[in-house]
Amino acid sequence: MLMDLSNRSKEFVAAIPHCAALGIHVVDTANAAVTLGLPYDVRLVGDPATGVIAGGAVSVLMDTAAGAAVMAHPDAHGLTATIDLRIDYMRSATPGQRIIARAECHHVTTHVAFVRAFAYDEDETRPVAIANGTFTVIRAQPSGTEA
C-alpha cells in the first residue's frame, strides 16, 4: 500500500511536461513526505546581477511537491488541484546549488488538504522558502462519510 502511494506520486511527477522542462525530479517519497529536486540551471536565473534562481521556478518546485504529497496521502484518490498557495522567500538560494522541496499534508479533511513545504539548497538548516497551500481532495467512492 505504501509502495503504491509512493509510486503514484512518482508517476504524478514524471507525467508533468512542465517539470520535465525544468528538470524537476523525485528525490524521496518516504514517510508521507515528498521531496523533489530542481538542478541549478542558468536558464532559470531570475536576477542576472546575482545568478539566483527565479522565485517562479521555486514556485513550480513547491507547488508540484505539495500536489505530490496530496497524491501520496492514503485518503486522497485521483488528481488534485491547487486552491491557493502562499510562498515566503526567506533568503536567496546559493547560485550553483540544487534546490530541494519537501512537502507534507499536515491536515486532510473530506474535501481539502492542507499542505506545507520547505525548500532548501545544500544548507538544510536554513530554508530558502516556505510554502503553505490548500489543495482539492477527491475521496474514494463510496465513502459514506461525504459531508
Partner 1 sequence: MMYEPVEVIRARRDAALADLVRSVPYLNVLGIKFDRRGDELTAILPFAPSLIGVPTPPAIHGGATAAFLESAALIELAWSSSWARIEAGEEMPRLPRTINLTVDYLRPGLPRDAYARARINRFGRRYASVHVEAWQDNRARLFAQATGHFLMPEGA
**Phi-psi domain of 78 (left: phi exceeds 0; alpha: psi -120 through 50; beta: other):** left
Question: Minimal distance in Å, beta carbon 144 to partner 1?
Answer: 29
Q: Site residues for partner 1, window 38-97 (CB under 8 A)?
A: 42-49, 53-57, 59-64, 67, 79, 81-89, 92
With 0-12 / 13-18 / 19 or more C-beta atoms within 10 angstroms meaning exposed / middle / buried, residue 25 is middle
Question: Minimal distance in Å, beta carbon 22 to partner 1?
Answer: 8
Count residues binding partner 1 (CB under 8 A): 39
Whose cell is 461525504? That residue is 146
DSSP letter for 68, please: H
By beta-carbon proximity to partner 1, the closer residue of 1 and 56 is 56
* CA atoms of 86 and 131, how far apart (whole Å): 5
**Using CB under 8 A as the criterion, which residues of the chain lie in contact with partner 1 when the complex forms?**
15-22, 42-49, 53-57, 59-64, 67, 79, 81-89, 92
